[in-house]
Structure 1
């Protein structure tokens, strides 16, 4: 045993003689030599689950953006149960007439809209326009309230189904427009789906072109698409089945599509390059080549996949159905892609063997694992670490600096296209009833406290008006008060009004409404974000420590991921909060970043960053185990993994940036933030800063105390 104050450097071993396969190597050989069993199993999985995949868009839900256990959710539940569904999920139908809306064509439109609503089983009851409440002072605008007779997810689907028939009631002099929170999510999901499809159409040709350049052959370039398609079909079908038990957000599938594509390419690149090197570069037998590939690149892929899963699992700590289902959907896609990489891909490689280089580019050297170009780059970093490392650090810190002024809030109506029904109806409600009318508060109080509650509301400086109290039709103790704020629902002043009312209203009173649900979710996200970040960092470090068994480089690798994340959010602040480049990207700045972005995107960015970290450091550890030389560990890692990281990063950047070119604001935020994060992480952190840290720490990077060696399982990356 080496002295505990020095790095442990195992003796060098021959790469081609005396090779003994490890567990993953034996798995690779087994699947390669049991083709029929593996193929039948994957056909059953893909076909069986893929049968349900076409129903994914219609089955998955669009709501769930709420803080479980919050006062606003409790208010919605009480209003839904005791007041005929007149809660935040109710659909509002705005009827505007050039004349008196209760006469002539306006009255006819109200009758027809009522009939349409009453025919839908998801509508509990239809409340007719009430003077002083839902009829404007000029009598040109009236609002029908379609009470929610189902949960929020079903109400979004109801809004989608009802929108067309209601809008067709438009005639000369009368406009009929559905709006409300359920309609907002319906319109947003439709716009988001259109944007996702457009982005996918843009990204696939770019992705294929980069893959051809990266793999150097059309056949090899198609392998990641096999993994991606298998993973997507299986995960889509699984989400449909899970949705029959627990509501799953449609965003789960959207994010799963991106991650399945990105990780499928990453993992396939790593394994294909390594197999080529073993089989074609060193002329190893097929079984040996598969075993070596799985014991080295396969092990790195497995650890990378586990790191991604662990990072995303921290999002499950946020008590919001939408967040949990999105994280779960991505994790499910990762599991399927990982399974396909470790079982299906070895079989494909073994079967195609040298035919993976069919239709190759003339300059491709398919057996080349150690890239001469990246080897020269590694040597340059070794000679001038402070110059290149310092430059990368300055760039990252400069881009991260704006994060100190970052503001967050829940999405405003501006995330919808101008022509969407929910936004048009929103604007008409504001024009007829005041700026705060779309964010009307719902106050549920005990009947004995009604007078005090009304007095409090009427004398609050943030309330423009209070509608007459409504008693529960079922005779319960509850009374519903609806209060119109003075400000737009996205105005920060509304949060102060809600906070003040919750203190001053009688004990037991519930303050809710769609706008308040957003505020409560924002508060929950503010509380959860530090916890999620701490858990992600802690678990990420622990996994790297177990994989590398070197505390110093595991810590530095984890902390380096924070730099690219902070820089990406610094750029996001300049673009989405300050409006830099808004004309180029065609969006209307909200003056803040959507509140769900920090917690969710941090987990996603960290997962991708650690993906590259594992690839680089696993290669470095392999070279260290074989040579015991710090220089060879650093330069060899860059030479062997640099090309894969570069190509995979280029594909991810291309995929993510296509989402910045189309659709509503949230997908643009996703595309820009993730695109910049990958760009900075792959090309500045993993290919410059982390190798420089290996150079500066030298042998200390791989130091491992005796106690740690005894506690941790033995994981080696060099093959013997």
Structure 2
């Protein structure tokens, strides 16, 4: 592979404009294709086999309006003394809103609180569309199924709500499932903040404006292609609307990270006297292998999300993997072309004075010797710290934040608050009960079916302490389905709400239906989110186990050792566990939530732990390979384990910490966003990288490797014979690379040395 990568890198550097031109053609084609033919991204929480999905399938088969998406217009008087019961303008406004909603495409049904108000207060309250205090009215909208809708439906709905004049005397808000399906997270300053900080870090690390700009330019170029491709990927697999934002976060981080490693190695070769094309080729042939290895492990781990059995997680994994792959390809093709364009001027426009040098790692050597001389103290102390950070995982609560977790600037948050205040928190998360009557005799009398099956079931559900009210049942014997809506007493994201769902399924339904030839199922978004969390919880241990085994085999293959990969797997668990613990402390316990703009505590989004593990596995492998390859290289040359560990730390610590700081900046920037899910991703990734690249890589790794001594490199003889040799990041010989075999001159005294050692 070294020879192939050398030819790719040196060829791109020799003919940079051809490579850049090819990338521009691809970029224009992808962006234009996305704009012209791309599919709209949408969110679907379909999970085959779970009870909520069975309920949805029953409703869909019966053509029930409950099978589609919903929206809700909420109206309340601005004047606190005004009641809807005796307000003619309120009835007129509600009637107008209903009329306009019925004219929207794909709207199947709209409730009529105006008519109910005209019949008197008792009728209005009994309809369920007006609160008991007469302060809040809701106009409920039933839309077609998700496949028939797109973002334009949400835009039309929002435009209608916003069209109510501000001086009407009424506050009008909108919410519902339609927002969840098509309301894309705001693209604010998150990426910009991360990029600006990354630029500062790169400028300080390289000491050159040109060298700083290359990784940023490559990452932005690759990101533009990757994110634009999402609407085209949607032709193959349904891509969630949040995947591009999470993909942007991951893509920026790994793109800049990989480019940092390659530019660092390229400058090292330049400062040793190689020409630009040869230096670029050698950089791609050496550091490029680590980039491909690390990027490949990220992709493999993310695609492993398919074992969760949750289609939207698989789809998001595929989409994010596409962005990571594009960044890897850009690193070994587009970046060397940029290096060729920059030529020998890569160190121009420097911020350091001439002759400035950051040294050759003497400070890190001293630190390495210090850690080695206090290995037991650091190993025990740091391990205890990581276990303490991981301990809150025992309280991990998987779920999904409801609209109450959004900032008050969002329309759906204001609608959520009004509905909860007027009708109770459970109205924001209705439970849809679908009764399968397909086994009932086709000629059965609907009245008998109601009396024998449906009515007892409705009564039993109504009597449950977790249910506030139950709507009228609808029986459709032609399609073999009966449906009714139950409103819980608690908010959608409360643990008690899903406990009610589980109790209905396990206790209430069997007792009420008995031996009748019918089955009942609970659907709706609240039940669906709980089922997703349950599926993820069940599959998470197997997924983590598979990733650990994969990491063990890969590192054993690369470093020809048993203990090194075992140690790496355990340390990865500690760093990722610490990230999980911090998420629990901030999002569930509320520690420091105001610092990140979180307005209320929320459960951890059900799919985030599995996603984080997959992504962080690949990213931590990046640093592990970069550090251990240098340790292994020195150990093979000297046979001295202690010195090899110190040498490896001294030659890689500056690059690892610079790369980690960039990652943390990019991921941390997304914590500033409004969406709680994005905040979780950003904080979880930033925390894990911070822990992994600092206390794990520069403290715990050298301490444990010092304690294990030569045992680090033990490998059974029979295994040593069958494993091929892999030089993942070592500098291959010139002949193997196809490069000139002329001696490489030492750096000249007047050449500015590299400011980042590798």
Q: TM-score w.r.t. structure 1 length?
A: 0.89
The whole-number CA distance in structure 2 between the counterparts of 1:217 and 1:367 is 13
- The reply to whether residue 354 of structure 1 matches residue 363 of structure 2 is no
CA RMSD after TM alignment = 2.9
Match for residue 101 of structure 2? 117
Aligned position for 2:364: 374
Of residues 380, 389, 392, the one that matches 2:379 is: 389
The match for 2:391 is 401
Match of 2:72 in 1: 92
Is the CA contact (8 Å cut-off) linking 2:182 and 2:241 kept in structure 1?
no
Q: Offset at 1:35?
A: 4.2
Is the 1:612–1:682 Cα contact (8 Å) retained in structure 2? yes
**Corresponding residue for residue 154 of structure 1:** 149
CA distance in 1, matches of 2:62, 2:232: 32
Equivalent residue, structure 1, for 2:732: 719
Match of residue 480, structure 2, among 473, 477, 482 = 477
Distance, in Å, in 2 between the alignment partners of 1:405 and 1:657 is: 24
Structure 1 unaligned spans of 5+: 1-19
- Residue 128 of structure 2 is matched in structure 1 by 134
Deviation at 1:718, TM superposition (A): 4.1
Q: Is the 2:429–2:488 contact (alpha carbons within 8 Å) kept by the matching residues of 1?
A: yes
* Deviation sequence 1:414-460 (CA, Å, 0-9, x none): 32112422222223333333332222211111263323322322332
Any idea what the Cα deviations from partners look like across 1:440-490, whole Å, max 9, x if unmatched? 211111263323322322332322222111234x94221211122222222
Secondary structure at the residue paired with 1:86? helix
**Does 1:542 pair with 2:553?**
yes
1:353-389 CA-to-partner distances (Å, cap 9, x unmatched) read 3211111232577998953333333333334333433
Asked if residue 61 in structure 1 is aligned to residue 51 in structure 2, the reply is no
Residues 607-616 or 127-136, more deviating: 127-136
What does the per-residue CA deviation read over 1:219-240, in whole Å, with 9 as the maximum and x for residues that have no partner?
0111111221221122122211
Compared CA separation, residues 367 and 319, structure 1 to 2 (3 A): farther
SS in 2 for 1:362: coil
Distance across 1 between alignment mates of 2:470 and 2:559: 64
Moved more, 156-165 or 515-524: 156-165
**Is this contact kept in 2: 1:177–1:425, CA < 8 A?**
yes
C-alpha offsets along residues 311-356 of structure 1, whole Å, 9 cap, x if unaligned?
2222232333432233222211110110011122223324433211
Measure, in 2, the Cα distance between the counterparts of 1:53 and 1:646.
Answer: 37
CA distance in 1, matches of 2:354, 2:667: 28
For 1:489-529, what per-residue CA distance to the aligned partner results, in whole angstroms no more than 9, with x for missing partners? Answer: 22322222212222332442221122111211221221122
How far 1:715 moved relative to its partner? 0.7
1:164 — aligned with what? Answer: 159
Cα separation, 1, equivalents of 2:488 and 2:228: 44
1:680 aligned residue? 691
Q: Residue 65 of structure 2 aligns to a residue in which SS?
A: coil
Match of 2:139 in 1: 144
**Separation in 1 of the partners of 2:430 and 2:262?**
56
Q: Give the equivalent residue in structure 1 for 2:749.
A: none
**Cα offsets for 1:604-653 (capped at 9, x unmatched):** 22222222112111222233344443234322221222111010111112
The correspondence for 1:78, drawn from 58, 66, 71, is 58
2:129, 2:139 within 8 Å by CA — same for their partners in 1?
A: no
SS at match of 2:104: coil
Contact 1:630/1:695 (8 A) holds in 2 = yes
CA distance in 2: counterparts of 1:66 and 1:186, whole angstroms: 16
Give the Cα–Cα distance (whole angstroms) in 2 for the partners of residues 242 and 294 of structure 1.
29
User: Are residue 458 (structure 1) and residue 437 (structure 2) matched?
Assistant: no
Aligned partners of 1:471 and 1:479 also within 8 Å: yes
TM-score by length of 2: 0.85
Structure 2 gaps of 5+ residues are: 117-122, 438-445, 734-758
Change (3 A) 1:35 1:200: closer
SS in 2 for 1:487: coil
After the TM superposition, list the runs of 4 or more consecutive aligned residues in structure 1 that deviate by more than 6 angstroms: 364-369
Provide the C-alpha distance between the structure 2 equivalents of 1:669 and 1:311, rounded to a whole number of angstroms: 19
Q: How far, CA to CA, are the matches of 2:266 and 2:362 in structure 1?
A: 18
Provide the residue aligned with 2:324 in structure 1: 334
Q: Does 1:24 align with 2:5?
A: yes
1:220 alignment partner in structure 2: 211
Shift of 1:83: 5.0
Q: Matched residue of 1:357: which SS?
A: coil
Most deviating of 256-265 and 289-298: 289-298
Q: Is 1:643 matched up with 2:654? A: yes
Q: CA deviation at 1:86?
A: 2.8
